[in-house]
Amino acid sequence: MPDNSFDVVSKIELPEVHNAVQQALKEITQRYDLKDSHSTIEVNEKDNKILLHSKDDFKLKAVVEILQSKLVKRNVPLKGLTFGNIIPAAGSSVRQEVVMQQGISTEKAREIVKKVKDSKLKVQASIQGDFVRVAGKDRDTLQQVIKLLRDSDFGIDMQFTNYRSN
């Protein structure tokens, strides 16, 4: 009977995203090269998206760079963001959607479970909705699983939470 467990999750802290967006907007209004670019950054929590808007491709790329630097400073993993295509918008302006990953998709969860099972470590991995729970008898084995998953690249940002031991 497994006594110890942890969860593999992929979440972006929205308060940190909001703070990074505020800092980026402040820098955009102060930068001379972006003064009349009509650049905006909006966070849409309902759809887990960040909407970027600017005058042209060049200025939009500058906005993206500023936002990324602010997100990194606030420890928001860029791996958890998916940048969409740059789309022409009204009045010769451009916009871009950035999707924030919340939760692990079923395909990625299956890859994680398969990786854990293929390792032959004595643990059970199970998909629990949008996260993966790994349970085992001893903590050392769970530490090995965490190291194994950290060393693997699933193309998503992962955190290890809810570490429980009895």
Enter the DSSP assignment of 140.
H
pLDDT at 1 over 60: no
d(CA 152, CA 114): 12
* Judgement on whether residues 32 and 84 belong to the same structural domain of the protein: yes
Q: Is the pLDDT of residue 55 over 60?
A: yes
Computed on alpha carbons and rounded to an integer, the radius of gyration of the chain in Å comes to 20
- Position 120 scores a pLDDT of 85
Could you say which of 85, 100, 115 is where a domain stops? 100
User: CB within 8 A of 39, min separation 6: which ones?
Assistant: 28, 52, 53, 54, 55, 59, 60, 63
Q: How many domains does the chain divide into?
A: 2
Residue where a domain stops, chosen among 66, 85, 100: 100
CB within 8 A of 35, min separation 6: which ones?
Answer: none
Residues 19 and 85 in one domain: yes
Co-location of 63 and 121 in the same domain: no
| 20, 68: one domain | yes
156 near 6, Cβ under 8 Å? no
Q: Write out pLDDT tens, residues 16-35.
A: 989 999 999 888 888 888 77
With cut-offs at 50, 70 and 90, classify the pLDDT of residue 69: very high
Q: Which domain holds residue 41?
A: 14-100
- Reported pTM: 0.77
Q: Are residues 19 and 79 in the same domain?
A: yes
Instruction: CATH number of the domain at 40, please.
Output: 3.30.70.990
Would the pLDDT of 165 be above 80? no
Residues 93 and 35 in one domain: yes
Q: For the segment 73-108, what is each residue's pLDDT rounded down to a tens digit?
A: 988 888 888 888 888 877 788 888 988 888 888 888
Of 4-8, 85-89, 152-156, which range is least confident? 152-156
